[in-house]
Each structure stands twice: as structure tokens, then as C-alpha cells.
Amino acid sequence: MDRQFPQTPIFHAGPLRAVELEVGDVPALQTFFNVNPEYFLAVTGESARHDEALQEFNDQIPAGMPYRKRWLMGFVDEADTMVAMASIVSDLLAERVWHIGLFVVATTFHGCGTAMAILQHVESWIRANGAEWIRLGVVEGNLRAERFWEKAGYIEARKRPGVEMGSRVNTLRVMVKPLAGGSREEYWARVARDRPE
């Protein structure tokens, strides 16, 4: 029997419920990754590992990077089908700086505005919880993702070369978006780690 996701959401994203995933949701998340391999193929050169969902669930913030809380979210429809997932970290590196660690939308919804609509709800929830900046990393050369984040208003803060991801070594573009106004210089004053080298 399929697992039923919580009916009470963290927030609504249009017709979808944003629910906090629990360890019992690992099989559903793994199935989602397996049937939507595009992200993994683009950034690692491989399909999702057999334990990708468990690894994501157990993922630890690196030592020396302070944070408040990490959410692993699923976005589910009325039929309890997972349409998207995201990992979000609050107050990472500095207060009021939130981080989107992973954001994957089902392939069937690519190119129709669903991803941007979900992201706008995510950003509204993040802003309502006191964030002033959102940061994330996008793999340089993953053109679909780069265009998506740029269109959503994210700007590059720095590049991090030499990041091992599966069978590839990637350059990550650390991108940020101000939620309450502000320049890159103001962001760098808050998060010195993201200054260009």
C-alpha cells in the first residue's frame, strides 16, 4: 500500500501540499528520483543511486557551517503523488540567510511553469519566516538550471570549482537572491565565505 503523506502541510503551493518528509517516506522519495533522473544525469552523469533518497534524508550540513534547521520537503497533489521535492536550510552561515540545497520537479512538469510557481511559494514561505537572502548552488554547464535560477532573480556570488558529484567534478555557481532588497556587497558582508576568490 502506498504511504499517505500528511494532510496538514507546512504550507500550500497552489494546489500542492508542501509536507515534511519523514524516514517512512524514503521509498516514495527514491521512486520519485528513479522516475525523474534528469537532475542526476545532468550533474553527476549517472542516474540516482539505489540509496539516493536515504542519503538525502541523512545528509549532514558540513562541520563549521552553522544553521538552525533543515527541511526535506515533498510537494504532493490531491492524489498523494509527489510532484517535486526540495531541501531547505534556515539561517545557514548567517542569520536570515536560507539555503535551497536541492530542488527537483517531475519531468512531466518541465517547461510549463510549475517549477517557477512552486519556487514562488517556497520563497514566500521563506520570506514569511524572516529570511532576507536565499542562496543555492547550481552546476555550471547545467544550462536549463542556470537559466531557471537566473530567470527567478538569482545572481552569482562566487564560483566553487572542483566539487565532486558522482562521476563528475563540477564547478558550482553559488547564487543568491535578496528578499528584502540589498546588493551583493551587502550579502558578502554577511557571508564572507561566498566572496569571490
Average pLDDT for the chain: 93
pLDDT score, position 3 = 60
| Whether residue 45 has pLDDT greater than 80 | yes
Of 110 and 197, the structure prediction assigns the larger pLDDT to 110
What would the DSSP string read from start to end of 41-74?
A: HHHHSSPPPTTHHHHHHH--PPTT---SEEEEEE
| Whether residue 141 has pLDDT greater than 90 | yes
Per cent of the chain over pLDDT 70 is: 98
Report residue 72 as a C-alpha cell.
Answer: 526535506
pTM: 0.93
72-130 pLDDT, tens digit each? 999 999 999 999 999 999 999 999 999 999 999 998 888 888 999 999 999 999 999 99
H or E segment and range at residue 95: none
The number of beta carbons lying within 10 Å of the beta carbon of residue 14 is 12
pLDDT score, position 1 = 40
According to DSSP H, which parts of the chain are helical? 26-35, 38-44, 52-58, 114-128, 143-151, 184-190
